[in-house]
Structures are given as structure tokens and as C-alpha cells.
């Protein structure tokens, strides 16, 4: 009885927690950038735990008002010198003297070896301390790792991004060697004619995209992103992968068509022998911490194609034209 009589009632608890949240919000307002973002997210999590909807909305408004410029991010231009013998070993099979089929086969296999075999390497204390937040390529803070597992995930993504930068350097040089061959377009168009992943309209778009890439019209290539997604969706259907969210899915996504990221996850599970290839597509097309080409371009975050992003799409088109092994 004594414990029951001295325990605060719900209204008292709510008032105390509201006062604490007001204090946290005021403290956040005294700061800027990442510090403000982090304090607001901590307050938001606390408000969600206590079910204080007014504070959840108020904090959400403040977070939405943060802009990229508020984070005072710095751009770094990093150049990686590729050892000559490594470069030659990759490029030699792509030379004009090689059959076009062999050059394309080598080109198809030129992508980062994501999910390397073996244990992830140990991280130093400095690395763990230096990774308090994850920031997308648009400079948006996505979340702050708060556990050892999340820190490992952060660094796995960091490693993948480093790998992708390294390989795209190879990819650009390799594409230039292959697409400038006199027999390239003729051979690829023959593959395209016999490929059942693309509709008639999709095939015409791919033809235009490949021709545009050769002359440097990057936007024409990026305009074919819906065609890439349609082909991947058809591939998932043919491979027996789930293309619709099951009835037990959370929220409003149940029984709805899977988005591209979900399709690629389904393909990874259905065709494990090609898991690394599908992870490459996922990282380059829809991963917010990767290149995220599809979402950036189709959601208006990037309006202009670049040589690098167009090259990735051409690479994926060529990979789609080669039967799964």
C-alpha cells in the first residue's frame, strides 16, 4: 500500500518526462550541425519510448529543418594509384585483338568483390571512435551506430564504398576499351535481340543508351533507369524470387510489389551463386550509403548524369545480357 501510494501517477510521469524532453530540445537548439542532430535524435527516441506524440512531432520538425549546409561537411578528392601490373592484368583481355565475346565476359565479371570470404578484420579503437555517424552521399545523417554490431556494419559499408571507388576506376577504363570496338554495338545488339528480360520498348531504350554512352551523352543513359528496374524485376520473376511482399509484412507494404532493393534481396536468396553481383547492383543503385544512383536520379536529388554513373548503368546492362551462371 505504501509503495502504491508513493508511486507517481501517469500524469505526473508524463509531466516529468515532458520537462526533461523540453530541456533536451533547448540544449539541442544551442548547438548546430551534427551535435544538434544527435541531441534531437536522442530526444526523439526518448519521446517515442514514452509515447509523447507532441514531442515526437516537434522534434521531427526540427530535424526536417536541418540542411546539408548545417553539417559543415568537407569534400575530399582522393586519388588511388593503380599498380601497373594490376592494371595490365585486367586490361589485357579487353584489347581489340581479343574476341569480343571474351572481352565482354571479362567486363561482366569486373565488379567489387563485396562480401569477402573470411572474418571481417579487427577494427582499431581509433576507427571505432571516428565513426559516430553515417552520412549519405548527399550529406544527410542517416543514423548513429550505438552498438558493436552497428559499428561493424558502418565499417563494412565504408570498405564497400572504398572498393567501389577503386573498381569504378577500372570500369571506366575497361568500358572505353570495349565500347569503342567496331564490333561492340553489333554484338551487343544481337545479345539484346535474344534477351527476354527486356520488353520491345526496353530494348529500344537500351540501344539508344549504349549509343549515347559512346558519344558522352550521360543523361540519355540515366534516363533508362526504369528499364534497368523492369529487367531486374523480370529476372526475379524468372528465377522464382519473391516479387511481392508476403501477407505478413509490416505496415502497408503487405501484398505490394517489392521495391528494387527488396527485389535484389530476393535474388540474393534465390540465386546465391550470383549474390555478389546482386549486392553490387544494390550498392550502386539503391543503397543510401552506396552510390544510390536510382534513388538519387529518380527522386530529384541528382538531375545530371555523369560519366561514372552512366558507366555503371552500361555495365549493368551488359551484365543483364549475359545468362546467369
- Indicate if the pLDDT at residue 200 is higher than 70: yes
pLDDT range class, residue 36, cuts 50, 70, 90: confident
Q: What is the model's pLDDT at position 237?
A: 93
Q: What is the model's pLDDT at position 4?
A: 45
Instruction: Give the cell for residue 169.
Output: 576506376
The per-residue pLDDT of the chain, averaged, comes to 79
pLDDT in tens, 102-115: 888 888 888 877 75
Q: What is the model's pLDDT at position 14?
A: 83
Instruction: Give the cell for residue 197.
Output: 528480360
DSSP state of 31: S
Give the whole-angstrom CA distance, residue 192 versus residue 198. 8
Range from 13-17, 18-22, 262-266 carrying the lowest mean pLDDT: 13-17
Q: What is the model's pLDDT at position 103?
A: 84
Instruction: Give the cell for residue 111.
Output: 565488379
Residue indicated by cell numbers 528480360: 197
Mean pLDDT of 56-72: 80
Burial per residue of 45-70, b for 16 or more beta-carbon CB atoms within 10 angstroms, e otherwise: ebbeebebeebbebbeebeeebeeee
Cα–chain-centroid distance for residue 126? Answer: 26
Beta-strand (E) ranges in the chain?
134-135, 141-143
Q: What is the model's pLDDT at position 150?
A: 59
Domain positions in the chain are: 11-71, 84-321
Classify burial at 312, counting beta carbons within 10 Å of its beta carbon; exposed 0-12, middle 13-18, buried 19 or more: buried
pLDDT in tens, 213-243: 999 999 999 999 999 999 999 999 999 988 8
Give the whole-angstrom CA distance, residue 44 versus residue 268. 35
DSSP state of 130: T
Within 10 angstroms of residue 267's Cβ, the number of other Cβ atoms is: 26
pLDDT range class, residue 123, cuts 50, 70, 90: very low
Q: What percent of the chain has pLDDT over 90?
A: 26
Using only the alpha carbons of the chain, give its radius of gyration: 24
Give the whole-angstrom CA distance, residue 261 versus residue 281. 9
Instruction: Give the cell for residue 261.
Output: 532493393
pLDDT in tens, 73-92: 655 444 556 566 766 776 77
Q: What is the model's pLDDT at position 158?
A: 63
Give the whole-angstrom CA distance, residue 113 versus residue 187. 27
Q: What is the model's pLDDT at position 300?
A: 85
CA angle 245, 285, 236 (to 5 degrees): 40
Q: Judge contact between 226 and 295, C-beta under 8 A.
A: no
> Between the CA of residue 105 and those of 99, 111, 324, what are the distances in Å?
10, 12, 12
- Indicate if the pLDDT at residue 8 is higher than 80: no
Q: What is the model's pLDDT at position 169?
A: 76
CA angle 198, 203, 208 (to 5 degrees): 145
- Indicate if the pLDDT at residue 302 is higher than 80: yes
Amino acid at each position: 500500500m505504501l509503495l502504491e501510494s508513493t508511486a507517481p501517477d501517469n500524469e505526473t510521469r508524463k509531466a516529468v518526462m515532458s520537462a526533461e524532453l523540453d530541456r533536451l530540445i533547448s540544449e539541442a537548439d544551442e548547438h548546430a550541425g551534427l551535435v544538434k542532430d544527435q541531441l534531437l535524435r536522442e530526444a526523439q527516441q526518448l519521446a517515442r519510448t514514452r509515447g509523447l506524440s507532441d514531442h515526437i512531432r516537434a522534434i521531427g520538425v526540427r530535424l526536417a529543418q536541418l540542411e546539408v549546409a548545417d553539417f559543415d561537411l568537407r569534400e575530399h578528392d582522393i586519388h588511388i594509384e593503380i599498380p601497373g601490373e594490376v592494371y595490365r592484368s585486367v586490361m589485357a583481355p579487353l584489347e581489340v585483338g581479343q574476341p569480343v565475346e571474351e572481352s565482354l565476359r571479362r567486363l561482366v565479371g569486373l565488379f567489387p568483390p563485396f562480401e569477402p570470404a573470411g572474418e571481417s578484420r579487427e577494427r582499431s579503437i581509433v576507427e571505432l571512435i571516428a565513426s559516430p555517424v553515417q552520412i549519405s552521399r548527399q550529406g544527410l545523417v542517416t543514423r548513429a551506430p550505438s552498438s558493436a554490431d552497428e559499428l561493424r556494419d558502418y565499417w563494412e559499408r565504408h570498405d564497400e564504398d572504398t572498393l567501389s571507388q577503386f573498381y569504378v576506376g577500372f570500369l571506366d577504363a575497361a568500358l572505353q576499351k570495349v565500347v569503342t570496338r567496331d564490333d561492340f554495338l553489333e554484338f551487343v545488339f544481337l545479345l539484346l535481340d535474344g534477351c527476354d528480360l527486356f520488353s520491345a520498348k526496353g530494348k529500344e531504350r537500351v540501344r539508344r543508351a549504349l549509343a549515347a554512352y559512346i558519344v558522352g551523352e550521360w543523361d540519355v543513359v540515366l534516363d533508362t533507369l526504369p528499364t534497368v528496374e523492369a529487367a531486374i524485376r523480370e529476372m526475379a520473376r524468372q528465377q522464382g524470387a519473391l516479387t511481392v511482399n508476403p501477407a505478413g509484412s509490416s505496415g502497408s507494404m503487405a501484398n505490394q510489389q517489392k521495391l528494387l532493393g527488396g527485389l535484389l534481396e530476393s535474388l540474393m536468396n534465390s540465386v546465391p551463386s550470383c549474390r555478389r553481383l546482386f549486392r553490387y547492383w544494390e550498392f550502386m543503385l539503391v543503397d543510401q550509403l552506396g552510390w544510390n544512383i536510382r534513388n538519387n536520379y529518380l527522386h530529384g536529388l541528382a538531375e545530371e548524369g555523369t560519366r561514372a554513373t552512366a558507366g555503371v548503368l552500361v555495365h549493368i546492362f551488359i551484365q543483364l545480357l549475359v545468362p546467369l551462371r
